[in-house]
């Protein structure tokens, strides 16, 4: 009886799961393994929201495997040592793993390759639709501009989804942590409570949301995805981050849907692949400027704290930051304008903003978060690096009635209409009653700070 190990990482699903499929095809029995990485537990990557969501994902994956006669084996330790030890223990003749993009994932793959040699099989296009590095411009190892990348990305043939296993035979006697212990371990390592309105994790919930999203017409997505109050985006990002959903399956299904809304949705998924291929080629971009601009970041700690707490005095910025704290998720337009406010108005280092987002976002993802932050900061792949998003213009365009602000900033809930975006214009007595802060900085002054710091004026 031959045995293979399917080492799960950011691919916590059984549908369109090439790693599990390949392990099942290669051997009589499979050990589905997830390692609670000691290097991640207790680090900034083990934040309360993602730890709670991960516990849901692992429980759900275990239940799906049990329904097929198997189970998930969860162990704690170093992933490489754990996989190598388990291979020796079970006499496994193969270890299957999805290719990752971060420096951490690449180092893990290198160590596994050294330890396992030919036993290791790494599968591309599991975490992304198009494998990082599969399309490159002439003479370069990755695309630095989105539009030409998109053209090539669209032309790539989509792989067929891997068939969902009916049975997963697991060898007897392989020890692992109990699921209740896994949840407790994650909760204690995360140190802190999850956000009150965190979505439930796991493939089952992800697929339910996916069916609801694809089952409704996508027509409005193109026109409404920037509408802050309309909440007209898929909210599938955490399920994609943990791999509860296959991006390939999602893109194939969306590409089959007619209309500009579906095409716009597919384009957003191409952005995800784009950032992944940048990080795979430049893992240091998680912490270093991709394109240094000589910035001398200037925001002080008090300003950073006001931004984090949603007390900047700019209602649309504060609404975004409070949505993040409450849901562990923020609308993309709000991510753009809150990030721009930090880096281009307060002139705060993008790393401080990215770290705060990573601490709270349930979809917090090194590739998407750090490279979107760099895009907004103008140190990344934006071809217009010095543009500044004025929060009042953003508010007028994307929250024209002020509903988003009233939803998230209760102090301003009684202010009607778009006047909610400029509380400083209300009469002084009304303003005093609202208990809402004065603007932290004058917008023009803030922009001057950024332009001077960057040596633009």
What residue ranges bind ligand FAD (CB under 6 A)? 225, 233-237, 240-241, 268-269, 271-272, 275, 332, 335-336, 339, 357, 361, 363-365, 368-369, 372-373, 376
Question: Smallest distance from the beta carbon of 58 to ligand FAD, in angstroms?
Answer: 20
Run of H or E including 37:
strand 29-37
Check if the beta carbon of residue 65 is closer than 8 Å to that of residue 30: no
* Residue with smaller CB distance to ligand FAD, 24 or 127: 127
* Residue with smaller CB distance to ligand FAD, 71 or 241: 241
* Residue with smaller CB distance to ligand FAD, 271 or 436: 271
* Residue with smaller CB distance to ligand FAD, 5 or 366: 366
Question: Smallest distance from the beta carbon of 24 to ligand FAD, in angstroms?
Answer: 28
Residue 366 DSSP label: I
Question: Smallest distance from the beta carbon of 447 to ligand FAD, in angstroms?
Answer: 19
Question: Smallest distance from the beta carbon of 28 to ligand FAD, in angstroms?
Answer: 36
The two most distant CA atoms of the chain are separated, in Å, by 80
Check if the beta carbon of residue 190 is closer than 8 Å to that of residue 40: no
DSSP-derived 3-state class of residue 122: strand
Token pair of 277, please? Answer: 């291929």
* Residue with smaller CB distance to ligand FAD, 206 or 423: 206
* Residue with smaller CB distance to ligand FAD, 82 or 237: 237
Backbone angles phi, psi at 425, to 5 degrees: -90, -5
Question: Smallest distance from the beta carbon of 292 to ligand FAD, in angstroms?
Answer: 19
Distances (CA, A) of 139 to 70, 142, 276, 282: 47, 9, 19, 16
Question: Smallest distance from the beta carbon of 115 to ligand FAD, in angstroms?
Answer: 31
Check if the beta carbon of residue 364 is closer than 8 Å to that of residue 353: no
CA distance 103 to 271: 20
Distances (CA, A) of 213 to 11, 185, 218, 268, 295: 21, 33, 8, 15, 41
Run of H or E including 253:
helix 247-256
* Residue with smaller CB distance to ligand FAD, 304 or 434: 304
* Residue of 128, 183, 127 lying closest to 10 (CA atoms): 127
Question: Smallest distance from the beta carbon of 335 to ligand FAD, in angstroms?
Answer: 4
């Amino acid at each position: 009886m031959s045995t293979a190990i399917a080492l799960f990482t950011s691919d916590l699903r059984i549908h369109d799961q090439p790693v599990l499929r390949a392990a099942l095809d290669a051997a009589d029995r499979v050990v589905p393994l997830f390692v609670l990485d000691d290097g991640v537990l207790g680090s900034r990557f083990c934040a309360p929201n993602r730890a709670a969501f991960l516990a849901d994902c692992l429980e759900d994956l275990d239940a799906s495997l049990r329904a097929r006669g198997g189970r998930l084996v969860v162990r704690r330790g170093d992933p490489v040592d754990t996989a190598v030890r388990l291979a020796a223990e079970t006499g496994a003749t193969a270890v299957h793993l999805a290719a990752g993009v971060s420096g951490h994932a690449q180092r893990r793959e290198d160590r596994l390759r050294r330890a396992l040699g030919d036993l290791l099989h790494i599968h591309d296009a599991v975490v992304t639709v198009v494998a990082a590095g599969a399309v490159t411009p002439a003479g370069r190892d990755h695309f630095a501009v989105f539009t030409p990348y998109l053209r090539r990305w669209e032309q790539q043939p989509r792989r067929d989804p891997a068939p969902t296993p009916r049975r997963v035979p697991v060898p007897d006697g392989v020890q692992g942590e109990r699921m209740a212990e896994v949840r407790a371990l994650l909760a204690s390592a995360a140190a802190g409570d999850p956000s009150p309105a965190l979505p439930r994790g796991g493939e089952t919930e992800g697929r339910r949301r996916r069916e609801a999203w694809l089952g409704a017409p996508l027509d409005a997505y193109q026109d409404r995805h920037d509408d802050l109050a309309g909440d007209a985006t898929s909210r599938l990002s955490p399920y994609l981050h943990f791999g509860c959903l296959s991006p390939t399956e999602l893109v194939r299904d969306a590409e089959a849907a007619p209309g500009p809304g579906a095409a716009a949705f597919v384009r957003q998924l191409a952005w995800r692949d784009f950032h992944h291929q940048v990080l795979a080629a430049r893992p240091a971009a998680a912490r270093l400027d991709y394109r240094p601009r000589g910035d001398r970041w200037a925001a002080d700690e008090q300003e950073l704290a006001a931004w984090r707490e949603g007390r900047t005095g700019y209602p649309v910025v504060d609404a975004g930051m409070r949505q993040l704290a409450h849901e562990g998720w923020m609308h993309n337009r709000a991510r753009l304008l809150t990030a721009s406010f930090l880096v281009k108005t307060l002139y705060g280092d993008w790393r401080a903003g990215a770290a705060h987002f990573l601490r709270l976002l349930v979809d917090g993802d090194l590739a998407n978060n750090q490279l979107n932050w760099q895009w907004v900061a103008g140190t990344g792949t934006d071809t217009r690096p010095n543009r500044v998003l004025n929060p009042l213009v953003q508010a007028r365009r994307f929250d024209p009635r002020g509903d988003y602000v009233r939803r998230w900033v209760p102090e301003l809930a009684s202010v009607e209409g778009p006047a909610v975006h400029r509380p400083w214009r209300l009469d002084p007595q009304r303003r005093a009653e609202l208990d809402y802060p004065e603007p932290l900085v004058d917008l023009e002054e803030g922009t001057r700070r950024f332009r001077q710091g960057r040596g633009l004026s």
